[in-house]
Chains A and B, each alone.
Chain A
Amino acid sequence: MESWHYTIVIVAIYAALILWVGTGRWTKVGRVAMDDYFKVAPGFGFVVLYLGIAGGFHTAFAIPGSMGFYYSHGVAFAANILWTVLTPLGVIYFVGARITCLGRKFNYITPADLLVDYFGDGRFRGFIAIYILSCCIPLMTANVTGPARLLSSGTEGNIPYWAALLIMGGMVIVYVTSSGIRGVTWTTVAQAIWMFIAVWGAAFWCLTLIDGNLLTLFNTIQETEPALLTLPGPQGLATPQWWTTWPVFGIALYWAILPRGFMFFYSARDVKTTRKIGLTVGFYLMALYLPSLVIGFTAFHFFPGLTGGDADNSFPLLLATYAPAWFAGLIVAGGLAAGMSSMDADTNANSAMLTKDVYASFVKKNATDRHYITVGRIFVVLLVGITVTAAAFNWGLIVLMIGVTAAMITQLLPAVLAVTVPMGIRFTKAGVTAGIVAGCIISLTALLGGRVFDFGILQMTVPNLLPESWTRFDASFLGLAFNVPITLVVSRFTDGPDPENVARIRAALNEEFRPNLK
């Protein structure tokens, strides 16, 4: 047998395990209801949801992206510690628990359900759903690209890139259409465990390549590229402006309010479960990224001088050159786990939004739940098809598009906080809508300003409207800097939400989070 045969065997074992876990009897329920397909009506307990959230929040950025980041920018990646801790202890513990509270109390299914229940239904629902959907497709595309490349290079090209995409997409379609959020969560439990073992296994294997001594690795890097050991890194990425805005505003604040986050929070058994996950999931998240430094620096030690996409591919190159075939297979499967665990969660969440917020609200109202679930399954196939097709093109824009997703989702934060955290500040539908639109325009201008897009017959340059010194800050932060004041000013002069809705939602939050206040 050739070495790549072993890789294929291990990946096949992984695929069989995931399909078994994602379609087994534990993923089935007797009742046919939207709230038991897109989310889990009775709720998941701590362990399952912990691993579901831990794995589901990880994208292909975990494997191999994080290693490539360390390779290119060195310890600047330590900024990740900020979001791996800030998000659980701040956003999940404080905001996620409130989303769980309202989701369980009022049986929300989509993120728009929560916002329109407070601000009022109608076209606002369509706006929120389309806005969220438009920012999630690029993220889904980026998520499958890295693992598909890993699988293709891990099998020495015998599984072509396009076939790797089809394998991942096909598996996601099978278990998401079969079992909805249950299939997503149970497979993500298995994927979270697999990718954790893969990353730590890879780090220890890297140590054996450099005589098992971290100091040897440090000294080698200090001799060849000392800029990797301090900020701002060899390419000057981690400036104070970047460091103080990217990990907090570009990742931490958007990451937990992605649609997949809402679905997980809605699927918690109770508020206590979400709060316990907020208090503890940071240990998993931080531990997953710590070994990446050893892997990234080891790749630099053996293959210095790679740039751009080649730098991102440094870890797969290290595996292909030095790792035993069975071990490379384990890591490749870990990479698939990282990509698929977020792709399936995103697909389920986006399918729920298309079904409930668009189809059931504007196309066919008052149909049966069975009908809507069938439509939801069709949307799953459609979304995976779009994702795989988009990923098949060699876009140079994918990394940029992840930034677009982050910047756009972050603009929803004031609206989410307005609903979930009573704070004595007036927020209106017109206010949050104006804030979202303004924040989106500013952040996209910061991201895309000055760039030239070549569409063959049409070449387009996006005007650079912001001062150059501003664009050193993260685009999400810049967007929020405009979003918040505009939201507050417009809210001051426009009609507020229905007082009955506000009172009902605040009473639910007070009962849970201010229990001794009457």
Chain B
Amino acid sequence: MTALPAAISLRRGITVNARHNPLAATGAVLVAIFVIFALFAPWIAPQDPAAINLAARLDPPSHVHSFGTDELGRDILSRVIYGARISMLVGSCVVLTSLTLGLVIGSIAGYYGGRIDRFINVVLMNAFLSFPGILLAIAFVAFRGPGISNLVLALSLGGWVGYARLVRGQVLAAREREFVEAARALGASDLRIIGRHILPNIIQPVIVQAAIGMAGAILAEATMSFLGLGVPPPTASWGTMLNDGRAHLFDAPHLVLFPALAVMLAVLSFNFIGDALRDYLDPRSRIEAGL
């Protein structure tokens, strides 16, 4: 209904907020860099990330290898750039899957209420909240086996509940508003009311949660890869690189340092954006910031 003006106002708000909030601007720039790394890795990476060169193993950073080389002589800079692919791919797939599940299940619970809501809210959500998300993911991959699709599924298993809770609460409040009643009086179907009228009006806090969720998903992917439950070798992943680098902590600390920085910056950038969006959408923070 008011989706377009809301989107324009959100965009303008982000631009103004970025000027007031340099951390948000830093976050946006970093995200852009990681997305560019992920999309154009074959053109940006100076070398083949899987090319083994035993003569150059454990080389420290130099003008040939800016971030040094690993125990097989592979170029760490190239592997960090390629690692962005896995992080961004898994992170966005997890957020998309969790968000879609959360939107559908949360909307059904909030819109229909009654027994359906009680079943979803009390039984289904509590079942998934009874395990910490990462433990659920570890358990799932331990029994199903590693791989990108299992990893995305495993991380989404615990991820959807947060979105569903948020959407349920928002839909519960929105369904009583006049414009929903007006749409219902005009004979609109439930699907149309939810999809065209309610969702555009409740989407802003969901976007904030998605930005913070992206940070969590990247961290979780790296954790799983670190534990050997992520993407199988030789695919470059920051978590796997960190795990491999631990054995050479004494003689080649750069093996740990660069992938650690990459994970931290990627997570930090989405947290910066999430925080800024949350501040922007919170009227009290906006007044304080003079927006």
Specify whether A and B are partners: no
Q: Which residues of B are at the interface with A, using a C-beta cutoff of 8 A?
A: none
Q: Which residues of A are at the interface with B, using a C-beta cutoff of 8 A?
A: none
